[in-house]
C-alpha cells in the first residue's frame, strides 16, 4: 500500500443529517462502539461523511478520516469482482465444474440429511460449479458461524478455525478443505462459507498470478485504492484502528469494551494465507472508489473494471427456488444471493421500502456497505469483534434512507 487517498469530498446539500450524527455519537458515548465512520451517497455523490470516536480508547486520538480498517468479509466483494473479470476474458463459464480447475475437489462427499457424525456421508449427486461458489451454495462451511453443527464442529476440531488464521497458502487450504464433506448437495441450499477463499485460489490458477498481485494490478491500483491490501506499511501503522470486543458477547447493546491486540500493531508484511474471504485492510476513501465503480456500472474515473451486463448478472439471484440467505444467529429476511452480493428481494414493514433491490455485504468487525437502485447507498465502519449485522448498522441505514428519501 503506497501513498494516501485525498480527503473525501462532500457535495453541498440542504439535507439534515444531525439525527444520524446524534445516534452514532450515542453508540460511542455509551461504550457500545469504540468508533464509527459513516458515509451516505446519492448516486455517485457523497452527501455526508463523519467520523465518531477514537482510534483507540487509551490514547483517545480522534478517529482519522484516513483510518485503516480490517475489512474482513467486505473482501468478498472485491474477490468476486476479480473472478468475474476473468470470466469476461473467457477463462471459464459459470457452470463449469470446479474440479476442472481445482482437481482436489473432484468427487466430493456430502453429509447425509440429519447426520449426527461427520462420517455419515453420501456421494455428491453433481459436481460443484463456479456459480455455486460465488453464491455460497456449493456446500462448504466456515467453522465459526454455527459451531454446534456437525460440519462446523468438524472444521473447528480438525484445525480449520480461520478466526485463528491459517498456517499455509491458498493451495494448502484447498487441500485441507477438500478433506471435509460438503454440508449439503451442491446447489440445494445456502451456507456462509470458505467458498470465497476457494474463489481466490481459482483466480490464482486461472491467472497464473498470486491472488494479491492480481487484485493489486486489476482492481486496487486502477481504482486508486492506495491504502488497501493484505498488510499495513510500517509508516501507516498509526492509522490502523484498534480492535475491541463487546462487553457482553450475547448482548450487542451492552456497554463496556475490551481491547483486542495493541494500538498501532498489525500485519506489516503480506501473509502466507491471502484470504479472499476476509484478508483485506482498507479505508473509507478507498472503499468508496470501489463502491462508485459498482454504482457506475463497472467503471470509475475512466477505468472500466467490469461490463454493465456482468454486474447486472452478479446482482441477480443465483439461488435455487425457495432458497434464502439464512444465519443461525442473524435474521436476514427476504435476502437472496447473487454472484458475490447479498440481494434484498423483499422488504418487511419495519424496513425502508427504498431498500428493495439493494445489494450489500459486511465484515465481521462491523464494516458494512450497501448500494441501492433507489439511489441511496451507504458505508459504515467500526472495529468491533464481532460486529457483523450489529444494531448500529441498521440504525445507520434507517436514518440514511429516511433523510435522503
What does the pLDDT average to over 224-243?
94
Cell of 368: 458494512
Choice between 117 and 266, residue whose per-residue pLDDT is larger: 117
pLDDT for residue 71 is more than 60: yes
pLDDT for residue 162 is more than 90: no
d(CA 112, CA 119): 9
Bridge partners for 186 per DSSP: none
Q: How large a percentage of the chain has pLDDT more than 70?
A: 96
In which band, very low, low, confident or very high, does the pLDDT at 75 lie, cut at 50, 70 and 90? very high
Residue 72 burial by CB count (10 A; 0-12/13-18/19+): exposed, middle or buried?
buried
What does the pLDDT average to over 176-187?
97
Is the peptide bond prior to 386 cis by the omega test (within 30 degrees of 0)? yes
pLDDT at 38: 98
d(CA 335, CA 359): 10
The single-letter DSSP state of residue 360 is E
pLDDT at 73: 96
Residue 116 burial by CB count (10 A; 0-12/13-18/19+): exposed, middle or buried?
exposed
pLDDT at 262: 63
In which band, very low, low, confident or very high, does the pLDDT at 348 lie, cut at 50, 70 and 90? confident
What does the pLDDT average to over 134-159?
93
d(CA 280, CA 74): 8
Weakest mean pLDDT among 13-22, 158-167, 295-304: 158-167
pLDDT for residue 246 is more than 80: yes
CA-to-CA dists, residue 117 to 124, 125, 153, 297, 363, angstroms = 17, 20, 10, 46, 31
CA-to-CA dists, residue 227 to 120, 194, 242, 289, 328, angstroms = 46, 25, 17, 12, 34
pLDDT at 4: 41
Phi-psi sector, 385: left (phi>0), alpha (psi -120 to 50), beta: beta
pLDDT at 355: 83
In which band, very low, low, confident or very high, does the pLDDT at 57 lie, cut at 50, 70 and 90? very high
pLDDT at 264: 57
pLDDT for residue 17 is more than 90: yes
d(CA 355, CA 405): 11
Q: Which of 29-38, 261-270, 341-350 has maximum average pLDDT? A: 29-38
What does the pLDDT look like over 106-121, one tens digit per residue?
Answer: 999 999 999 999 999 9
Pick the closest to residue 65 from 336, 381, 393 (CA basis).
381
pLDDT at 255: 86
Angle at 141 between CA 137 and CA 143, to 5 degrees: 160
Choice between 327 and 294, residue whose per-residue pLDDT is larger: 294
CA-to-CA dists, residue 58 to 253, 257, 362, angstroms = 21, 11, 27
What does the pLDDT average to over 254-272?
76
CB within 8 Å of 132: residues ≥ 6 apart: 138, 139, 186, 187, 195
pLDDT at 2: 40
Please name the helix (run of DSSP H) or strand (run of DSSP E) that holds residue 363, with its range, or none: strand 359-363
d(CA 122, CA 7): 55
pLDDT at 45: 97
pLDDT for residue 5 is more than 90: no
The single-letter DSSP state of residue 238 is G
Mean pLDDT of all residues in the chain? Answer: 93
pLDDT at 192: 95
Q: How large a percentage of the chain has pLDDT more than 90?
A: 80
Pairing state between β 303-304 and 121-123: unpaired
In which band, very low, low, confident or very high, does the pLDDT at 23 lie, cut at 50, 70 and 90? very high
pLDDT for residue 101 is more than 70: yes
pLDDT at 266: 63
Q: Are 268 and 281 a contacting pair, CB within 8 Å?
A: no
Quickly count: other Cβ atoms within 10 Å of residue 364's Cβ.
Answer: 19
In which band, very low, low, confident or very high, does the pLDDT at 265 lie, cut at 50, 70 and 90? low
What does the pLDDT average to over 28-53?
97
In which band, very low, low, confident or very high, does the pLDDT at 167 lie, cut at 50, 70 and 90? confident
pTM of this structure: 0.95
What does the pLDDT average to over 141-153?
92
pLDDT at 164: 81
What does the pLDDT look like over 283-310, one tens digit per residue?
Answer: 999 999 999 999 999 999 999 999 999 9
Amino acid at each position: 500500500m503506497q501513498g494516501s487517498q485525498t480527503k473525501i469530498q462532500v457535495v453541498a446539500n440542504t439535507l439534515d443529517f444531525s439525527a444520524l450524527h446524534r445516534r452514532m455519537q450515542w453508540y460511542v458515548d455509551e461504550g457500545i462502539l469504540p468508533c464509527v465512520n459513516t458515509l451516505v451517497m446519492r448516486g455517485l455523490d457523497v452527501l455526508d461523511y463523519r467520523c465518531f470516536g477514537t482510534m483507540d480508547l487509551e490514547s483517545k486520538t480522534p478517529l482519522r478520516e484516513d483510518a485503516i480498517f480490517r475489512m474482513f468479509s467486505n473482501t468478498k466483494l472485491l474477490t468476486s469482482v476479480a473472478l468475474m473479470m476473468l470470466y469476461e476474458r473467457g477463462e471459464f463459464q459459470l457452470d463449469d465444474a470446479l474440479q476442472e480447475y481445482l482437481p482436489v475437489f473432484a468427487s466430493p462427499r456430502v453429509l447425509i440429511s440429519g447426520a449426527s457424525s461427520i462420517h455419515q456421508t453420501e456421494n455428491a449427486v453433481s459436481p460443484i460449479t463456479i456459480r455455486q461458489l460465488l453464491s455460497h451454495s456449493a456446500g462448504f462451511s466456515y467453522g465459526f458461524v454455527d459451531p454446534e453443527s456437525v460440519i462446523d464442529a468438524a472444521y473447528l476440531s480438525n484445525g480449520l478455525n480461520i478466526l485463528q488464521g491459517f498456517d499455509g497458502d491458498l493451495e494448502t487450504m484447498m487441500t485441507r478443505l477438500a478433506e471435509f464433506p460438503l454440508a449439503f448437495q451442491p446447489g440445494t441450499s445456502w451456507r456462509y462459507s470458505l467458498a470465497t477463499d476457494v474463489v481466490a485460489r481459482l483466480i490464482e490458477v486461472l491467472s497464473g498470478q498470486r491472488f494479491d498481485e492480481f487484485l493489486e494490478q486489476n482492481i486496487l491500483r486502477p481504482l486508486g485504492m492506495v491504502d488497501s491490501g493484505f498488510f499495513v506499511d510500517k509508516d501507516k501503522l498509526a492509522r490502523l484502528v484498534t480492535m475491541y470486543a463487546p462487553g457482553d458477547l450475547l448482548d450487542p447493546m451492552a456497554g463496556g469494551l475490551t481491547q483486542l491486540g495493541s494500538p498501532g500493531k498489525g500485519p506489516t508484511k503480506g501473509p502466507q494465507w491471502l484470504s479472499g474471504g476476509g484478508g483485506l485492510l482498507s479505508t473509507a476513501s478507498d472503499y468508496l472508489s470501489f463502491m462508485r465503480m459498482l454504482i457506475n456500472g463497472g467503471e470509475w474515473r475512466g477505468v472500466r473494471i467490469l461490463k454493465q451486463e456482468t454486474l447486472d448478472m452478479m446482482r441477480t439471484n443465483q439461488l435455487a427456488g425457495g432458497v434464502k440467505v439464512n444465519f443461525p444467529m442473524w435474521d436476514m429476511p427476504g435476502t437472496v444471493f447473487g454472484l458475490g452480493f447479498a440481494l434484498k428481494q423483499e422488504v418487511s414493514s419495519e424496513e425502508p421500502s427504498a431498500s428493495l433491490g439493494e445489494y450489500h455485504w459486511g465484515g465481521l468487525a462491523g464494516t458494512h456497505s450497501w448500494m441501492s437502485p433507489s439511489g441511496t447507498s451507504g458505508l459504515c465502519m467500526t472495529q468491533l469483534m464481532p460486529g457483523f449485522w450489529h444494531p448500529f448498522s441498521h440504525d445507520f441505514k434507517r436514518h440514511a434512507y429516511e433523510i435522503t428519501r
